[in-house]
Structures are given as structure tokens and as C-alpha cells.
Copies of this chain bind each other. A is one copy, B any other.
């Protein structure tokens, strides 16, 4: 066992948001200190001695972005030597999901800027943050294939097309649109309301949908799996 150790511990978060206008997007901050000063980066920072990892990432998100996170889960720990030019820093990363109202971001105190970027139009990022976003994106994609996803990302009521667009954006591949509704409704976590969609263009307005919370969380807990 090594006698001395010169390693620091940070937490960083990949926060995903979605609206049909903005698409699948990631919340980034502009760094106001070296290294990578003025570069875009994931919100995060060093863990304080007295706080848990979850408290640390919640504090950093509050201080740097002011955004209200509806879902937060540990992603992976990145510890390659050299990933920070100053010192060895291990980053314990989280991924979060937010509702559309989080797209209105206020000026943050601990960063020079904060903004949403579409997942396909990310700027050059500090450290290994591009890699961390790729890992988070894969996690979200695979989560969507064995658990219901959407309750943490969409408005309370939404047109069915909104859920379909969310699946398209996250999976990033064509889906069988003709059968999507049948396939996704058979799991029972979606409910059709009697409220109509407010349509901007022409066409017949469809009913709005919402999630059945009980079935949603039950299926999220159990997942889709081998029948054994």
C-alpha cells in the first residue's frame, strides 16, 4: 500500500435536458479559472472534506448553474493520471435529467457563463469532459431500452409526438414510427388524457398524454428483462 498519496477528488455532472425546439441538450459552464480558463466544461469541482459526494455535486450545480435537477444518478469514476494538467484529480461523475423549464438559465456566481448545447453541437471542452459526456449519453440510451424514460424530462402533459421525438433524439437512430405507439403503450406507463393539444399549424389536434407514475416507477424498478 502506498504510504503517501497526492490525488484530489472532484465531482462533475452531465445534465441532460430536452425540448422539441432545442433537442437533446447538455448544460455547460464557462470556466473562469485556469486551467482551461474560458473553455466550456461540465459543472463540478472539488469535494469538501465534510460533505458527501451527492452533497458536493448538488452544491456545485447550485453554485455554478442554479438549475433545479429532477433526477441525479452516479455515472462512473474517471481516474486516468494526466487528465488534469495541474495535479492528479479523480472525477466521480453523475448524470442528471431536468424538465424543460430548466432551459431558462440565470447568471451563475461561480462560472463566467452557463448555457445549454445541443448534444450534436458541443463546443471543445476542458479536460476529458467530451469523453464523460459520451459515456453519459450511452448510459441514457441503454437506460431508455430497458426502463421507461421521459417522466424526468418532459412536461406533465405532452402530445404523443413529443415522446416519440425524445426517443428519436436519445436513441439517435430511426425508429419504426408506424408501430412505436403500439409498442410503447403496451407497457402501460402512459395514459391518454382528454385534453387536446394546442396546435399551431393545420391538422386535427390529438389528445395529450401523461405518465402513470405508479406503473412508471414499478417498471423503472423492475426493468425489461429475460423471462426467467
Chain B CB within 10 A, most for which of A50, A53, A228? A228
**B9-A7 in contact (CB<8A):** yes
Residues of A in contact with B, size category: 35 or more
Chain B CB within 10 A, most for which of A7, A46, A167, A187? A7
8 Å CB contacts to B: which residues of A186-228?
Answer: 187, 223-228
* A22-30, A76-84, A100-108 - interface stretch: A76-84
Which residues from chain B contact A175 at a C-beta distance below 8 Å?
A: 228
**A45-B1 in contact (CB<8A):** yes
- Per-position binary interface string of chain A over residues 92-117, scored 1 when its CB falls under 8 Å from any chain B CB and 0 otherwise: 10000000000000000010000000
User: Nearest-CB distance from A226 to chain B (Å)?
Assistant: 5
Which residues from chain B contact A228 at a C-beta distance below 8 Å?
A: 145, 167, 171, 175-176, 180, 183-184
Also in contact, A47 and B225, with CB within 8 A (given A81-B52, A146-B146): no
